Structure 1
Amino acid sequence: MFSSATKVKGQGVGSAYLELIGLLKKYFPQDIKVSINNFGKADISHYHTIDPQFYLSTFFPGRGRKIGYVHFLPETLEGSLKILQPFKWIFYHYVISFYRRMDQLVVVNPSFIEQLAAYGIDKKKVTYIPNFVAKKNFHQIDYFKKNELRKKLGLPVDKFTIIGVGQIQERKGVLDFIKLAQLLPDFYFVWAGGFSFGKITDGYRELKKYVVDPPINLKFPGIVERNALGEFYNAADAFFLPSFNELFPMSILEAASCGLPIIVRNLKLYRSILDSKYLAGETIKDFQQLLVNLANNQQLRDQQRRLSLTIAEEYSEDRLAKKWLEFYRSQSELNNL
């Protein structure tokens, strides 16, 4: 395994990486020998991040099958990082060059297969394996413990509480999240996340103003350690992610595993991976109405909770473990041909 994802806190790439390492250690300690950032000889080299030193290592002998994890494409970085030309073009070219160096790519969203093909990458070299989360870290708690959690986290116990999770950046729709807090003063909003990439984050200057001085009913706790994030989900009544562009957000799976109703922007990718088991809107007005409906309708909340739990089951580590073992075995066999 090659990754530097955990060096930058609060990003989904790091979460997905840690989940996979945890899965392999739990299910296949005898079947798969894993080393981390070790440039020694291997049957398989799985690259989770696109660091230059990892790129250079692909030219070394003894790499075995080179597997690239596709967590983003150039177009999905728009609205995330502010990179000036000509550096943006150079970086985007480098991203695709890295993927082309791989013998096989793994995508977390099936729509990426066509997008990679548009860059001239053979579809046969692309495998779809979705993200997942471990229930030991993200699971429902007894409903009656919710108030205890809210007191612990400094949240009001008497307000309908909505949580969003992810980096604070324009692409995530954080400005819409803030606008909804202003429009719904009787609700309480929490955004767990921060500026993982500092001042080069797209929209940093405007978003920073709200983080420093948020509406009274909006809390920015900053980047929350992954082992504590489950408490924030379980303290909330609903999960809201108004992103304009996504791959396969770990936060949705985490919220689903905690049994939260899910509200997202109406993006095409969700239809294929979440099978309409969520509420979706396009505009601020849409989201406002969805949140009000959810807060005022216990039956709707219960229905959406059940749908979220079916998402969690579909993308559980139990179901994905076998898929990863089969994938690694097939790649190892190809390496030995």
Structure 2
Amino acid sequence: MKVLLYAEAKKLLSRSGIGIALKHQMEALKRANVDFTLDIEDEYDLAHINTVGPGARFVASSCRSRNIPIVWHVHTTAEDIRNSFLFSNAYSKYARFSLRRIYSKANFLLFPTPYTEKVIRSYGVRVPGEVVSNGVDIQFFRRDEDKAKHFRERTGLAGPLILCVALPFKRKGIHDFVEVASKLKEYHFVWIGSKGIARLLPRDVRRILKDPPPNVVFPGYMSQEELVGAYSAADVFFFPSYEENEGIAVLEALSCECAVVVRDIPVFEGWLQNGVNCLKGKSNEEFEMLLRRLVEDKDFAKNLGQKAREVALERDLTVVGWKLKTIYEDVLKNHGKKAE
């Protein structure tokens, strides 16, 4: 069995959630001993598609003409398009109907969370599917005090540190992050995420990036090695996003035993439990209170981080790899092909 892992514009998407998910799939399949290719000109038995652009639609059309089954990974919904790039809200109104057509052409769908499956089913998509986490490398993303020290030294930040890792979208809660920071002036707030897309962002977001409050830093993109240091150094990982399909950065923070505060939104229901492995808030006033609590109560924050690690263990890339292998084999079998 050989699988095509496909995502268009890989260079452009390399620092996005989809780009990271593709890297995770590559590592997961290596661990499950599944042969794969990234080359659409190669020979393969099944296509695992991650994007929804013209390149992805071309690959899907080619596969159907050659009787090759298609597994489509749902990373994109109309809901998570909103409040991202310029004109994204206008596009999201059309996207619901476009995505319904695209995903309906698959033989099988992969959903990062039950929430994402619920959203796609609401579009009228009836293709069979299964929930499989994007996963996290628990051996790589683990608490490291040396890397934490290096991160603190490199950034010159001492004292309470509140971290977020995300592209600087309005949907990700960047306005709320800055507003909460303005109320907690004694804390350092660091938002890590590529600023290379700034010209595609609305004016108000560009203004925040250009002129943040004194205690807020936007260092831009950082390597995964540096991220381990950031997660390990942070007192709290604060993720005020309004819409997610899972949140790979959340998984990374959980894996590094960082105390996590998220917005109380449907995607986190069931697997993130308020007061057990994270804290959830619904307003900036709540977020301010929760961040203070975790910074001031180190024992509680440490316990929350240890419980968070347990959530990550269930989503390790080794587990993901074997789930994908089983799904591929079943899809090929149902398509009248033998997985060898």
Cα-to-partner distance string for 1:278-337 (whole Å, 9 max, x where unaligned): 101111110111111111112211211111111111211233232122111111222335
Structure 1 segment 102-113 matched on structure 2, within 5 A = 102-113=106-117
For residue 164 of structure 2, give the secondary structure of its aligned residue in structure 1: strand
Percent identity reads: 22
* Alpha-carbon shift at residue 272 of structure 1 (Å): 1.8
* Alpha-carbon shift at residue 247 of structure 1 (Å): 1.0
- Per mean C-alpha deviation after superposition, the further-off stretch among 159-168 and 212-221 is 212-221
For residue 23 of structure 2, give the secondary structure of its aligned residue in structure 1: helix
2:287, 2:194 → 1: CA distance?
Answer: 23
Relative distance call for 1:6 and 1:334 in structure 2 (3 A) is farther
2:25 corresponds to 1:14: no
Relative distance call for 1:75 and 1:85 in structure 2 (3 A) is closer
The equivalent of 2:189 in structure 1 is 189
* Alpha-carbon shift at residue 56 of structure 1 (Å): 2.2
Return the letter of the residue paired with 1:156.
L
Q: How many residues align?
A: 328
Relative distance call for 1:87 and 1:149 in structure 2 (3 A) is closer
Runs of 4+ in structure 1 deviating by more than 6 angstroms, as ranges, are: none
Relative distance call for 1:309 and 1:191 in structure 2 (3 A) is same
* Alpha-carbon shift at residue 113 of structure 1 (Å): 2.3
The equivalent of 1:160 in structure 2 is 160
* Alpha-carbon shift at residue 68 of structure 1 (Å): 0.5
Structure 1 segment 205-284 matched on structure 2, within 5 A = 205-276=203-274, 277-284=277-284
Return the letter of the residue paired with 1:7.
L
Cα-to-partner distance string for 1:152-203 (whole Å, 9 max, x where unaligned): 2x1313x1101001110110001111111111111111000134644333xx
The equivalent of 2:97 in structure 1 is 93
2:139 corresponds to 1:141: no
Structure 1 segment 303-318 matched on structure 2, within 5 A = 303-318=303-318
The equivalent of 2:44 in structure 1 is 42
CA contact (8 A) 1:10 1:224 kept: no
2:57 corresponds to 1:52: no
Relative distance call for 1:47 and 1:238 in structure 2 (3 A) is same
Return the letter of the residue paired with 1:183.
K
CA contact (8 A) 1:67 1:105 kept: yes
The equivalent of 1:129 in structure 2 is 132
- Per mean C-alpha deviation after superposition, the further-off stretch among 316-325 and 180-189 is 316-325
1:86, 1:308 → 2: CA distance?
Answer: 37
* Alpha-carbon shift at residue 88 of structure 1 (Å): 5.1
- Per mean C-alpha deviation after superposition, the further-off stretch among 232-241 and 130-139 is 130-139
CA contact (8 A) 1:69 1:107 kept: yes
* Alpha-carbon shift at residue 114 of structure 1 (Å): 2.6
The equivalent of 1:324 in structure 2 is 324
CA contact (8 A) 1:2 1:54 kept: yes
* Alpha-carbon shift at residue 6 of structure 1 (Å): 4.2
Q: What's the Cα RMSD here?
A: 2.1
2:136 corresponds to 1:150: no
1:199, 1:115 → 2: CA distance?
Answer: 30
1:116 to 115, 120, 131: 120
State TM-score, norm by structure 1.
Answer: 0.90
* Alpha-carbon shift at residue 92 of structure 1 (Å): 4.2
1:209, 1:197 → 2: CA distance?
Answer: 14
2:209, 2:67 → 1: CA distance?
Answer: 44
Relative distance call for 1:84 and 1:237 in structure 2 (3 A) is closer
1:146, 1:58 → 2: CA distance?
Answer: 44
For residue 272 of structure 1, give the secondary structure of its aligned residue in structure 2: coil
Relative distance call for 1:21 and 1:198 in structure 2 (3 A) is same
For residue 162 of structure 1, give the secondary structure of its aligned residue in structure 2: strand
